Amino acid sequence: MEQDRTGRRNTRRGVPGNSWRTLDTSPGRFQIRGTVVVVVVVVVALVLMARLVQVQLLQQDGLAHSASEQRTVQTPLYADRGAVTDRDGRDLAYTMKASMIVAFPNQLETYMADRYKIDKRTEDNPDGALPPDEQLDEIVDELPDMLEGDTGAVKKEDLREALTSDSNYVRLVQNVDPDIAERIIARWPELSTENQDVRQYPNGAVGANIVGKYGWVGDGVEGGQYGLELSQDARLQGTNGSVTSDVGNDAVIPGTVRDRHPAVNGDSYRLTLDTDAQAYIQQQVQQAKDKAGAESASAVVLDAKSAEVIAMATSDTINPMGDLDKQVDQGKEFTNRVVENAFEPGSVAKIMTAAAAIEEGKTTPDEVLQVPGTIEMSGVTVKDAWDHGVVPYTTTGVFGKSSNVGTLMLADRVGEDKFSEYLHNFGIGQASDLGLPSETAGYVPDLDQWSGGTFANLPIGQGMSMNLLQMTSIYQALANDGVRVAPSLISSVTSPDGTKIPQDDPEETRVVSPATARTVVDMFRAVNQTDPTGVQQGTAPAAGIEGYQTAGKTGTAQQIDPDTKAYSNSNYWITYAGIAPADDPRFVVGIMLDNPQRSSDGSGGQSAAPLFHDVGSWLLDHYNVPLSATEAPRLILEAQ
């Protein structure tokens, strides 16, 4: 007890921090505290009531909308891509249902650890889960075997790299059979599966230059990459739909499904192609390219009357079902040279000069022309491919022997204006609009742009360019009694409900009269004529087919030297176009070899004629075309 200044003890209880103050325990003190508490409670209640009013009355619509948006899900309904078939309904491209195995690497270890805690392996539970590291090893070691070759080789090192990456999502394996995918997920629930539509090309590389390929085109989007799959992508893919529903606890809330917009499946295409013919001709084209030592080789077959494309083959065509990168490294290509590549046709185009001269009445097949070795034309000197003096060639012989000089003599009679009209009517410089991407129109100068030497080049197939389809179309016009029909590839289009969608009839152009067409085809039988003496022999006897009359024309066109920008004396396009049978046309075949070193059969010289023989023989046999009723009459090429 402390004492005060008078010495008396202070009996008051001290207050911390102030030994001279005493604790106030009066009734008024407790009343003040109670009032403060009441005020605080009232204020809090008022705030809560205000917030309740705000939520229930003022923000009701907005919050309800936000809540609805958070639980509303719009699920896409994917359309089925249309199929592509050949003329007989055999599949060229179709879509099958498959599965894709995916994983979430940045969450995978957590998933594995959780399963291990729940279902670790013990003696009583030997099929339970392993620790995460061992589970990863198990997936890497056993997953490839479970695929059973279903998707091709799956490398273990690629699997491990994908599963241990920092990615949120990876595709491990695509194109998996759904039953196999289900077994994989049952074994490793940490993985996941997604539905996948897989485009199938059952014929591999056969016709791939035409049909093309469907796949990833960038930014996670799939579509047509080249060929018909690209040019007709919008109609093949159809239109995706959607359905809206509300989701709670990862499940659709019953009764909330609404706004259903069904998917509209894609249209299906039937082509004019014959798969058997395409397979055979594609094989023959590849062999010809290899035997000839050419940069490439191409061939196209048209129905002589309808101009339907029966086959359209190029060498080194890529297989869309194979390893694309590996094939590209091997020199395989996605392109369709038949319609995409333009070249100077050379003498194969002389048949247009012949048709113009006959139609205009400027000559007859048996007229004898005194043909010198050279000619001055439009200020340019042109000579034949072989040296000779004046030779008495018939008009038939001019083309059977492929005389440049004789051809220009006849072109001069036709004149520039008329000749220009025939070029247009034969479709030169005009794309055929076959329905494939990247089709070139070729090139021919307008008449008002012709220079001094133009008319010395065009009648013999130089100074203009065309693709192989256009070149073949010239011969189709003459095989079809003088009417050029625009080539067609798409036979019909069918909507998802089975309705045939009408297609426009191909454009037809009367180029020459039926009589002229028949005369010209008969004249060009001379090209395939044989003669032991060589005098009455044409330039391509190797193109002849035993038992059938055939007509056609060879072509050799100089390429442009990239260094000198002038015509090369060593690099050529070698062409051939022919009609079989010539007496009752069924097929027109066009062939082009890019800079071959030998003939298409590997023999000496440079010629595509042997390939025409092989292709024509197969077609006539395959379609059971009757033999010609009579042998072709002997034609006079050189007067004696």
* Continuous H helices in 293-432: 324-329, 337-340, 350-359, 395-400, 404-414, 416-425
β-partners of residue 508 are: 485
Task: Using alpha carbons, select from 480, 451, 442, 482 the residue that is nearest to residue 352.
Answer: 482
Determine which one of 99, 231, 315, 347 is catalytic.
347
β-partners of residue 103 are: 170
Bridge-based pairing of strands 268-271 and 84-85 is parallel
Q: Is 347 a catalytic residue?
A: yes
Backbone φ and ψ of 87, nearest 5°: -65, -25
Q: State the Cα–Cα distance between residues 494 and 502, nearest whole angstrom.
A: 9
Query: What DSSP string describes 446-506?
Result: -GGG--TTHHHHGGGT-S-BB-HHHHHHHHHHHHTTTEEE--B-EEEEE-TTSPEEP-PPP
Q: State the Cα–Cα distance between residues 572 and 596, nearest whole angstrom.
A: 7
Q: Are 310 and 625 in contact (CB under 8 A)?
A: no
CB neighbours (10 Å) of residue 603? Answer: 13
Backbone φ and ψ of 598, nearest 5°: -140, 180
**Peptide bond preceding 581 in cis form (omega within 30 of 0):** yes
Bridge-based pairing of strands 567-580 and 551-560 is antiparallel
Q: State the Cα–Cα distance between residues 118 and 258, nearest whole angstrom.
A: 39
Identity of residue 339 = V
Q: State the Cα–Cα distance between residues 273 and 227, nearest whole angstrom.
A: 14
Q: Are 296 and 315 in contact (CB under 8 A)?
A: yes
DSSP class of residue 37 equals H
* Long-range contacts of 246-251, Cβ-Cβ distance < 8 Å, separation of 24 or more: 246/68, 246/71, 246/72, 246/73, 247/71, 247/72, 247/73, 248/71
Q: State the Cα–Cα distance between residues 51 and 62, nearest whole angstrom.
A: 15
DSSP class of residue 348 equals G
The tokens 């490294």 sit on which residue? 329
CA atoms within 13 A on the CB side of 375: 23
Q: State the Cα–Cα distance between residues 635 and 366, nearest whole angstrom.
A: 9
Q: State the Cα–Cα distance between residues 105 and 190, nearest whole angstrom.
A: 10
Q: Are 399 and 526 in contact (CB under 8 A)?
A: yes
The full 3-state SS of 621-639, as one line of letters, equals: HHCCCCCCCCCCCCCCCEC
Q: State the Cα–Cα distance between residues 640 and 368, nearest whole angstrom.
A: 10
Q: Are 556 and 542 in contact (CB under 8 A)?
A: no
Task: Using alpha carbons, select from 638, 628, 360, 611 the residue that is nearest to residue 526.
Answer: 638
Backbone φ and ψ of 314, nearest 5°: -135, 155
Non-local (6+) Cβ contacts of 417 within 8 A are: 447
Q: Are 299 and 317 in contact (CB under 8 A)?
A: no
CB neighbours (10 Å) of residue 361? Answer: 9
The residues annotated as belonging to the active site are 347
